Amino acid sequence: MRGERRAYIMFLTLWVLATAVKVLVASRLPLFVDEAFYWQEGQHLAAAYSDLPGLTAWLTRLGVEVAGGHRLGVRLPFLALGALLPWMVAWITGRWFGGRIGWQAGCLALLMPMSATLGILAVPDVPMAIAALLCLGAGARLLRGVDAGGALLLALGLVVGALSHYRFLGVIIVGFIALVLLPEGRRVLRDPRIWIALATGIVAWLPLMAWNLENQDAGLKFQIIERHPWVFSSEGLLFLLIQPLMVTPVLFVAMVMVGISGVRKATGGFHHVQWRYFALVGAASTALIFLLGFFTDAERISFHWPLPGYLALLVGVPVLLTHWPKAWRRAVWVTAAIGLVIALGYYLVVSMPGLRQEMAGSKYYPRNFAGWSPLAAAVREELQHMPADTTVLAGSFKVGSELGFGLDDPSIQVLPHPLNDRHGRTAQLALWGLVSDGHRDNPQLLVLAPSDQRYRDLLARYHAVCELVGPLPPPRVVSLDHGFQRFLLFRLPATRQEGPCVTPAMAWVDVPAAGASVARGVVDVQGWAFKDGVGLDRVELLVDGHSVGDAVYGRVFDIRQAWPGTNDPHHPAVGFDARVDTRPLAPGRHWLGMRLHGKDGSVEEWAEQPFVVE
């Protein structure tokens, strides 16, 4: 009893601390772009949506109605479910292996980064993880003997899962396989009460099935066909290498050993049927996800997909640890704690603009969290200086959803964009009547996010926007984190203008290269810049945001082969040269930028690039 009480106190202490930190982070962290779209879906309540079943959107709406239309309100139901999850792990484990082991499993759920951070973001993986645990607990209970309570618990899990995500189908398949592999499981499947529970779960899929039938299977095609290449890719190896970091390496090894023991019919003293059931569910689920990692979508974040399998394996880990040497047991706890600190620390850094700016220029820069509040403030300011009937037009669903949340307007129109298609949002936007064809009868404020476009495709995107709305007037630039997140705001008149496509400026610094080290003294700077439709008047150089004079603009440097379709009247003379004195600068990292002055009066600050003064 003393050991159980000590484990409970440790669990409760960790739970209070982790929950408090998660609430703090969730109250400060800007909405991720997917969260903003789920909020938008919640403002257009429906039984199902193009990208997901309805539960995630319903939860965001519930949070806003209860706590208000701010980021913590959106995330509140998910924080509550995330806080419930370790209690569920402790309850499931404790029921079969004793209270002390149960509280230890709960502690591991609080420390494992992938489960510990669950609920900070309003994403469907939160209710899906709860559903997986409900089914896991129900399956273990039913193996002892089928009763009405176990069947009801299974039905509840199946319903919550069906309303959470398409991926829950995989959880159902894996659970069925695990039961079939066990003699006790095959007896469970012969009971009619189980099939009544399964039928209840099937009914919960009907809203999503109806949506797909009414919309040419758009959601199903996206989730199963369009977003996945379904050809072997070696990038799956990267997915495998990331996984031990997501759950911490020593704990990952322990979970692998749990899975292996389950597959080997629980040799080595683990003969508990529930223990083997947990191991089989976890091993089958994780192995399936790892295999699919070589064939499925590598563009979007998918490292969290194995979580349901990890939770099943986690239930068995404390039992396994009783057979490990003390040093290795301690290594599990220490490395898991370090992983939790790192994971929560990342979210804290992202939530603080000053610290986030330090990540600019790295591949870890969290662009999808950055700049939305300053953008909303800039849009409000622009609208104050435009006619009262002005509407906002967003360049993609990302901008539309984030601005919608910031302006409390879930009905901002969006231009067609490949991003809308790649994220499965086009069909839903079209159902809401929010996909614009560029036609307008009143002034519009167009908001583009060039940072979301691959640079090599940016000019083509600008020309596509011109075809929809006409030549673009001089933009207001909202630049954050040294320009690694940039937005362009255009005041479009009520009547479409005619003439050649006028785009925002394009530029590049060839010398010095980004991140290069330079000696103290006079440094040569070379590059190119152009602005389709009107051309540039001058290129002003900036160091750490301060002007250091104009470059000599107009050197012949023909880039038309790299940028087909460009119509800057200065081609091919779009190169520039300058010399910058670095002697007044302190040793260390500095930022080189440009201010591009167009012949139409536009002034656009370009993204900066770092250089190091030795």
Residue 265: the pLDDT is 63
**CA–CA dist 272, 59 (Å, integer):** 38
Query: Rg of the chain over CA atoms, in angstroms?
Result: 28
Question: First-to-last CA distance in the chain?
Answer: 63
| pTM (2 d.p.) | 0.93
Alpha helices in 68-191 (DSSP H): 71-97, 99-111, 113-116, 125-144, 148-162, 168-181, 183-189
Other beta carbons less than 10 A from residue 20's beta carbon: 10
Dihedral, 105, 106, 107, 113 alpha carbons, nearest 10: 100
Residue 296: the pLDDT is 75
**CA–CA dist 208, 214 (Å, integer):** 10
What token pair was written down for 426? 């086009």
For residue 294, give Cα distances in angstroms to 222, 227, 243, 281, 290. 18, 14, 14, 21, 7
Residue 204: the pLDDT is 96
Residue 270: the pLDDT is 54
Cis (ω within 30 of 0) for the bond into 512? Answer: yes
Residue 294: the pLDDT is 80
Nearest by Cα to 543 from 507, 508, 477, 595: 595
Dihedral class, residue 529 (left if φ above 0, else alpha if ψ from -120 to 50, else beta): beta
b/e string for 469-508 if b means 16 or more Cβ within 10 A? bbbbbbbbbbbbbbbbbbbbbbbbeeeeeeeebbbbbbbe
Dihedral, 606, 610, 613, 614 alpha carbons, nearest 10: -160
Residue whose entry in the numeric block shows the structure tokens 């614009």: 436
* DSSP structure class, residue 513: P
Name the phi and psi angles at 509, rounded to 5: -105, 120
What token pair was written down for 54? 């309805």
Residue 132: the pLDDT is 97
Nearest by Cα to 132 from 261, 289, 14, 333: 289
* 604-607 own/partner pairs: CB under 8 Å, 24+ apart: 604/475, 604/477, 604/488, 604/504, 604/505, 605/477, 605/479, 605/483, 605/542, 606/483, 606/505, 606/507, 606/529, 607/451, 607/479, 607/482, 607/483, 607/484, 607/486
Mean pLDDT by groups of 10 residues along the chain of 614 residues: 88 96 95 96 96 96 95 97 98 94 96 95 97 96 94 97 94 92 93 95 95 88 80 80 90 93 61 86 88 73 84 94 92 95 91 85 83 95 95 96 96 95 92 94 95 90 94 94 93 90 94 92 95 95 94 94 92 95 92 95 93 92
Residues contacting residue 271 through CB under 8 Å, at least 6 positions apart: none
Q: Are the beta carbons of 429 and 40 closer than 8 angstroms?
A: no
Residue 267: the pLDDT is 44
pLDDT 10s digits, 298-349: 666 677 889 999 999 999 999 999 889 999 999 999 999 999 999 999 999 8
SS3 for 344? helix
**CA–CA dist 220, 227 (Å, integer):** 10
Nearest by Cα to 527 from 540, 543, 545, 544: 540
Cis (ω within 30 of 0) for the bond into 572? Answer: yes
pLDDT 10s digits, 106-137: 999 999 999 999 999 999 999 999 999 999 99
Q: Are the beta carbons of 390 and 446 closer than 8 angstroms?
A: no
Are β-strands 506-511 and 603-605 bridged in parallel, bridged antiparallel, or unpaired?
A: unpaired
> DSSP per residue over 176-199, as a string?
HHHHHHSHHHHHHHTSHHHHHHHH
* DSSP structure class, residue 30: P
For the beta sheet containing 506-511, the strands, ordered from the edge strand earlier in sequence to the opposite edge, are 506-511, 522-530, 575-581, 552-555
